[in-house]
Structure 1
Amino acid sequence: MAKPRSRRVPVAEPDEGIPADWKPRARNREQLLELVELLPNEPGVYVMRDRKGRIVYVGKARRLRARVRQYFNGHDNRLFVPALSKLLGDIESVVTSNDKEAMLLENNLIKRHQPRFNVKLRDDKQYLVLRLDTRAAWPKLEVVRNIAQDGAQYHGPYHSASSARHTLRVVNRHFKLRTCSDFVLQHRKRACLQYQIDRCPAPCVYDVDAQLYADQVRDVGLFLAGRHSELVSGLEQRMQAAADALEFEKAARARDQLRAIETTLQRQDVVGTGELDQDVVGVYREGGNVEFVVMHVRQGKLMGTQRFSEKGMELPDAEVLSSFLSAYYDEAPLAPDELLLPFALAEDDAEPLAEWLSERRGKKVPVKVPVRGDRKKLVLLAERNAASNFATRRSKRDDGEAALLALRKRLRLSRLPRRMECYDVSHIQGSDPVASMVVFVDGEPDKSSYRQFKIKGSGGELSQGHRQNDDFASMQEVLERRLRRALEHDDWALPDLMVIDGGKGQLNRVIAAMQDLGIALGDEGVDLVSLAKERRFAVTASKQGLERLREQGVAETPEATPGQALADYVVQTADDADDPGEVRPERVFVPGARDAIALPHGSSELYLMTRLRDEAHRFAITHHRKRRGKSSLVSVLDGIPGIGPATKRALIKHFGSVKAIKAASVEQLCEVKGVGGKLAEAIVGALSG
């Protein structure tokens, strides 16, 4: 058995690139499971390589073996997981001293190797902060990109250079701090232009009141920190004191500063009432495309918003968000007082993140998922921003093209499925069965091409009120009718891909119908697949299950339903079972393939297919409800003597629903052609009962 590649060093990393002598240690699921069992059950980072040696995923865990084992034990329902057995060639690990070290190492490895399944934020140079060193003799405000542990105040971050420099201009215009470098301050002999335009008191060459300058520095700190109420109160007192002392120049300066603050406040959205520095994260996702928004709320005011887009994300939401936060705060210059998220992270992801942020902030930083109140409103606002940004920034054509290409590759289709049709059957216990056909063109619904079908049944007996509870027969009938129209009418040309809702049995019935009509599959005809919904399976009555049953002393009795004892045993012991059951994700069956294809969770192709299937289901249910409503009305009217087909149609056309007919008076019923006084009274009598 192979030995695990694991080392207990807190800063060690896997070899750069692919080692020259690298060979996969696993080529099937069984060999991967052996590697998993050799992993240490300690904090650290795991690195998954494909069979060519490329790093495809980097993750962290509090217990490495337990986390990685989840990928292979049937408990992990992420749809990229089934592909791991065919994709992976090795799993390496690096043991760290604690969770926080694991998170930092994970960040470094992701940035270095850019794995396929990880969130990868670009090295962003848009993080700007304003630095104010209050310990200097004559402090100044400056724009910097990096934060040093030097005791200075740092304010921000600002998502763009223009935003940071606008704030700097406001401060320079109204608070009059020096703007020159320390070297110029020490060597200048004459006052510069900033002094001439009254933007600087020129401490470089003139005697300046140090206390007055210190007051200005303090005001700048309050202004940038968003503590405007405290700043305004101080300025108002200073302005009044200067006016009382007849120092009108000082009073005018304080007045101008107050006006500048008012103008700034008008530009800022007040989104909360707290006094904390909060970062609020919003997430919007469609398939593998994810939009993140980080709102910087300072003292209840929205100071700025940053946006990030990711593509090709196949992990679940919580893991994608955790990966994003690790990457974001690895680059962000400041940690907030509080972090608000739209949904929870895994416990072994949330705790190290909070600890890391707390260390950077210098005090405890809670990571919260609010469920009510002002904090919840902030999260909802961030999510609305993420959805809006997604709609604005994405290219539907590019996204649709990418999804179609991925779908063709995943399902091994003969052509790009630019036109797709999906079919679904709807009924209640066999009554009023109908079917829908929805059409997507280039990944988007083409509602003008939607069609509805009434299921006729063999010999058309369903039109006589019979029931049909056989979805297989109904689907076969609809597909035969649709395919015949393709042969007989030019405007019913075959699509690139036909999708039916169901499993392998449904697929085989449709294939038989196509063969009967002489329509080929693939290149010479049409691609065909069936989409089965995600399902959970409990323990089944297999031979092994029966053996376990006998070992527990559970025996079948002659009067019991066959298998009932096993079913009772499963129910009684479900809470104690180690394995709650197998999760079968949404699967696609294709002609000629023995096994179904699992579409990766969060992938664009899965999102496209489920949208198509759900739209077919919605359209079928809508049609069924309309037909059921009409049939119930017709059945009520059929029982009234004197109402024939023409009168029935006239009543339905005039009133539109059975509720409206029931509510109608005799006089209103007489307005319908063919309805006289006696018939109207008969209708009222029949429907009122």
Structure 2
Amino acid sequence: MRDTVNSRISLDLKALPAGPGVYLYRDAAGRVIYVGKAASLRNRVRSYFLPGSQHPPKIRSMIEKISDLEVIVTDTEVEALILEQNLIKEHRPRYNAYLKDDKSYPYIKVTLGEDFPRVMLTRRHVKDGSRYFGPYTRAGAVHETLSLLRKIFPFRTCKQKEPPLRERPCLNYHIKRCSGPCCGLVDREKYRAVINEVILFLEGRQEDLIRNLAARMEEAAANLEFEKAARLRDQLQAVREVVEKQKIISGGFEDQDVAAVAREGDEAWVAVFFIRGGKLIGREQFVLKGTEGLSGADVIAAFIKQYYTGAEFVPAEILLPEEAGEEKAVIEKWLSEKRGARVLLKVPRRGEKKKLVDLAAKNALLALEQARLEEAARRDDEAEALAGLARELGLEGPPGRVECYDVSNTQGAYSVASMVVFEEGRPAAGQYRRFKIRTVEGPNDFASIQEVLRRRFARAREERELLAAGRIGSRQAKFHRLPDLVIVDGGKGQLSAARQAMRELGFSHIPAFGLAKEEELLFAESRPEPIALPADSPALRLVQCLRDEAHRFALAYHRNLRGKAGLRSLLDEVEGIGEVRRRALLKAFGSVAEIEKATPEQLAAVKGMNKKAARAVYEFFHGQGGK
């Protein structure tokens, strides 16, 4: 820890409020490096800077980097907890523990805001009146569940918010996989009854579902509706088959989640069992990053806060291997408010519940060991790929840093390029760069590649000179690191343009190759014949990954620019929508097409929008205000 605290922090410490809230630490570059919550901001924040305080190495490292402090006062500690989790998800601070890949976890979404709701996979959890189930860690598990649901329940799978009007129903109706709302073959009330059964299934309340189906089957039979009774019988049998496969965990009918942790280095693997009505209905495994130096209680607390922030359902009990530390009481209060009934965090010492926690711990350890094996295999494959690439291309050694470039445009419009970076054989996404083509008119890939390589290496030369003179630090430099290998997407023409730019700037010593799009042949200036990497070799797979990633990154930027231009030209015509709201809409929905699909409620929920502006946008796209 530093002997002194900078004067700005000292002033902030003197003015700290005594009540609950959230605090953010920033480094010299203004980046948020830690987010925390406290029942007393004054006591908690000052504890970091007390003379003689003994902190773990990770905390000492963080304190040395703190350059600025921000506090946000809340009314209650529960509000502080919720805000803390939202800020961690937004900023991904270096010194916080956070769920790996939590931004892309899939959910099952039931669109209850629609007259004829859909059931689908989504990766966006928004407050739009829908029911969400999850999060899941594997999209495959979601697809399997959706496939099973479609076999049991006849709900629509068309993508429109309202079923398109048809004269004749689609194939799904004829094979009993849809009830035909598009043709008026089912009314809203009966369709909703099907959706309610889907929700019962997803909630794990299969026994309630079985009773409902059995009662409806008997009623249909009594009314001599034998075809309907037969269909309900088939549904009933399918649900019973699912229930029979579920392991009975408890003789009672508790709703419980069971979580346990296995740790290694800076990561923790968390296994979670989901028990509904005394039956194990599912399990998931999560990875929590940034856990080095944290106590077991802190890891447990971090996982619970982050997982249940995104979870739709909270059970009455959460069984754990150890207490959640000093945060237990506020976490229980928060979860109870979220559930609408009392929630307890329990650490069982004996009996069936202890066995469940032990079983979850074994699963967490198994996940950790599996991850070790996969990582070892991945490293072997990457090493073989780099060695093979060096061998086939005649490089001096395995290329530790490879850069791949691609250009994307539409008939020369919105022309952009990407630079993707792989280090030691795997993507280094934080070092990807994108370029807007400035000097080229029309569709000219050769000139575009030359411009991009010229800009990239001109920046490299400039930054390396500034670094050598001590005028900038390495954190300010974005292009100073040089590649061991350059690959441009294209043939001899693109390669020649790239090499010319590199020669002009004094970087001709860096090996560069062109990659033909279809044949997957590599071209070098010094070789008359192209190089074909061995089929199915790790080296070829690496080159394909580089090319695909460069193409994806360039195309995403191109579509982003094209979408912004389209949004601007369309929304300029909408009264009350200026530049700020235009940008907010694009950030929230991503494209004009998604804005067009949005409901007035979804539009009004966007930051900076109100009901009047939302209605204007909605009516513009739906024929009452323009288009």
Match of 1:315 among 270, 274, 294: 294
Q: Distance in 1 between the 2:376 and 2:179 partners?
A: 56
Call closer, same or farther: CA 1:224–1:287 in 2, change over 3 Å: closer
Structure-2 residue corresponding to 1:66: 43
Establish whether residue 172 from structure 1 lines up as the match of residue 147 from structure 2. Answer: no
Does the 8 Å CA contact 1:36/1:65 hold for their aligned counterparts?
no
Q: In structure 2, do the counterparts of structure 1 residues 52 and 262 end up closer, same or farther at CA, with 3 Å as the change threshold?
A: same
Give % identity.
38
**Counterpart residue identity of residue 233, structure 2:** R
In the alignment, is the contact (CA less than 8 A) between 1:46 and 1:91 conserved in 2?
Answer: no
Deviation at 1:359, TM superposition (A): 4.0
Q: 1:339 aligns with which of 308, 318, 333?
A: 318
What is the distance in 2 between the residues matched to 1:81 and 1:158? 31
Give the aligned residue type for 2:153. Answer: F
**Quick one: structure 1 residues 318 and 175, their matched pair in 2 at CA, closer, same or farther if it must change by over 3 Å?**
same
Aligned with 1:92 (options 60, 64, 69): 69
Q: Give deviations 1:211-243, integer Å, cap 9, x for gaps.
A: 654543443332222222222233334444545
Q: In structure 1, which of residues 268, 283, 289 is the aligned counterpart of residue 261 of structure 2?
A: 283
SS at match of 2:182: coil
State the match for 2:94 in structure 1: 116
Q: Which structure carries more relative contact order (alpha carbon 8 Å, separation 6+)?
A: 1
Query: Residues 97 and 291 of structure 2 are in contact (CA less than 8 Å); yes or no, is this contact kept in structure 1?
Result: no
Q: Specify the code of the residue in structure 1 equivalent to 2:57.
A: F
> Residues of 2 paired with 1:63 and 1:239: CA distance?
59
Cα deviation 1:328-352 (Å, max 9, x = unaligned): 33444544444333222233x3344
**Unaligned regions of 5+ residues in structure 1, if any?**
1-25, 402-689
- Say yes or no: does 1:107 pair with 2:85: yes
Q: 1:351-395: per-residue Cα shift (whole Å, max 9, x none)? A: 443344344434444333334444433332222211111111125
- Indicate if the aligned counterparts of 1:157 and 1:332 stay in contact, CA closer than 8 A: yes
CA contact (8 A) 2:13 2:42 kept: yes
Code of the residue aligned with 1:221 in structure 2: it is I
Which runs of structure 2 are paired with 1:174-213 in the superposition (5 Å)? 174-181=152-159, 185-208=163-186, 213=191
In 1, Cα distance between equivalents of 2:62 and 2:69: 15
- Alpha-carbon deviation of 1:138? 4.0
Q: What amino acid does structure 1 have at the position aligned with 2:202?
A: L
**Residues in 2 aligned to 1:82 and 1:217: alpha-carbon distance in whole angstroms:** 50
Select the structure of larger CA radius of gyration.
1
Kept after mapping to 1: 8 A contact 2:22/2:38: yes
Unaligned runs of 5+ in 2: 380-627
1:87 partner amino acid: E
TM-score (norm. length: structure 2): 0.51
Residue 80 (1) aligns with residue 72 (2): no
Q: Output one character per residue of 1:609-640: Cα deviation in whole Å (capped at 9) or x when no partner.
A: xxxxxxxxxxxxxxxxxxxxxxxxxxxxxxxx
2:346 pairs, out of 347, 360, 368, with 368
Q: Distance in 2 between matches of 1:311 and 1:375?
A: 29
1:127 is aligned to 2:106: yes
Distance 1:123 1:40, change over 3 A: same
Letter in 2 for 1:279: D
* Counterpart Cα distance in 1 of 2:21 and 2:5: 24
How has the CA–CA distance of structure 1 residues 85 and 208 changed in structure 2, closer, same or farther, with 3 Å as cutoff?
Answer: closer
Letter in 2 for 1:28: D
Separation in structure 1 between the aligned mates of residue 323 and residue 246 of structure 2, nearest angstrom: 29
Contact 1:44–1:63 (Cα < 8 Å) also in 2: yes
Go from structure 1 to structure 2 and tell me whether the alpha carbon gap of 1:318 and 1:188 turns closer, same or farther (over 3 Å shift).
same
- Tell me: CA distance 1:256–1:377, structure 2 relative to 1, closer, same or farther (3 Å): same
Q: CA deviation at 1:117?
A: 2.5
Query: How far does residue 282 in structure 1 lie from its aligned partner after superposition?
Result: 1.2
SS in 1 for 2:103: coil
- Residue type of the alignment partner of 2:305: S
Q: Which residue of 2 aligns with 1:508?
A: none
Match of 1:28 in 2: 3
Please name the residue that 1:326 is paired with: 305
- Is structure 2 residue 252 aligned with structure 1 residue 265? no
- State how 1:620-631 maps to structure 2 within 5 Å: none
Q: Deviations over 1:121-167 (max 9, x none)?
A: 3343123123152x755444333344555555443444333322322
> Retained in 2: the 8 A contact 1:28–1:86?
no
1:379 aligns with 2:357: yes
> What's the counterpart of residue 393 of structure 1?
371
Could you tell me which of 221, 227, 248 is aligned with 1:249?
227
Partners of 1:315 and 1:183 lie apart in 2 by: 46
Note the C-alpha offset of 1:90: 4.6
TM-score, with structure 1 as normaliser:
0.47
Render the CA deviation track for 1:88-143: whole Å, top value 9, x for unaligned: 5556240412323333443344345443331133343123123152x755444333
CA distance in 2, matches of 1:273, 1:382: 19
Quote the RMSD (CA, aligned, Å).
3.9
Q: Mapping of 1:527-546 within 5 angstroms? A: none
Deviation digits for residues 486-506 of structure 1 (CA, Å, limit 9, x no counterpart): xxxxxxxxxxxxxxxxxxxxx
1:541 counterpart residue number = none
**Cα 1:29–1:141, aligned 2, differ >3 Å: closer, same or farther?**
same
**1:325–1:236 distance in 2 versus 1, CA, 3 Å:** closer
The one-character-per-residue Cα deviations of 1:251-278 (angstroms, maximum 9, x if unpaired) are 3222211221133224433334554543
Report if the CA contact (8 A) 1:279-1:340 is conserved.
Answer: yes
The offset of 1:398, in angstroms, is 6.9
Report the AA paired with residue 110 of structure 2. Answer: R
Name the amino acid aligned to 1:270. Answer: I
Work out whether residues 280 and 382 of structure 1, in 8 Å CA contact, stay in contact via their aligned partners in 2.
yes
In 1: Cα distance, 2:28 partner to 2:188 partner: 69
Task: Kindly provide the amino acid, as one letter, of the partner of residue 67 in structure 1.
Answer: R
Say if 1:294 and 1:306, in contact at 8 Å, map to a contact too: yes
Q: 1:136 to 1:118 in 2, by over 3 A?
A: closer
Hey, what's the Cα distance between the residues in 2 that align with 1:242 and 1:377?
Answer: 45
Matches within 5 A, 1:569-588: none
The separation in 1 between residues aligned to 2:6 and 2:47, in whole angstroms, is 16
Q: Would the aligned equivalents of 1:313 and 1:320 in 2 still touch at CA under 8 Å?
A: no
Distance 1:136 1:37 in 2: 51
CA distance, structure 2, for counterparts of residue 312 and residue 156 of structure 1: 24
Distance 1:213 1:273 in 2: 35
Cα distance between partner residues in 1 of 2:91 and 2:318: 28
Aligned with 2:69: secondary structure? strand
Amino acid in the other structure paired with 1:141: V
1:401-427 superposed Cα distances (whole Å, 9 cap, x missing partner):
9xxxxxxxxxxxxxxxxxxxxxxxxxx
CA distance in 2: counterparts of 1:34 and 1:327, whole angstroms: 31
The residue type equivalent to 2:35 in the other structure is V
Cα 1:47–1:142 shift into 2, 3 Å = closer
SS at match of 2:104: coil
Q: Which residue of 1 aligns with 2:211?
A: 233
Deviation of 1:53 (Å): 7.0
Compared with structure 1, are the counterparts of its residues 344 and 35 closer, same or farther at alpha carbon in structure 2 (3 Å cutoff)? farther
Measure, in 1, the Cα distance between the counterparts of 2:128 and 2:28: 48
The separation in 2 between residues aligned to 1:212 and 1:95, in whole angstroms, is: 49
Indicate how the Cα distance of structure 1 residues 310 and 202 shifts in structure 2: closer, same or farther if over 3 A, else same: same
The within-5 A match list for 1:407-446 is none
- How many Å separate the matches in 2 of 1:86 and 1:164? 42
Tell me which of 41, 57, 70 is aligned to 2:34. 57
Cα deviation, 1:460-500, whole Å, max 9, x if unaligned, reads xxxxxxxxxxxxxxxxxxxxxxxxxxxxxxxxxxxxxxxxx
Check whether the contact 2:269–2:285 (CA below 8 A) recurs between aligned residues.
no
Cα 1:278/1:142, change in 2 over 3 Å: same
Match of 1:236, SS state, is: helix
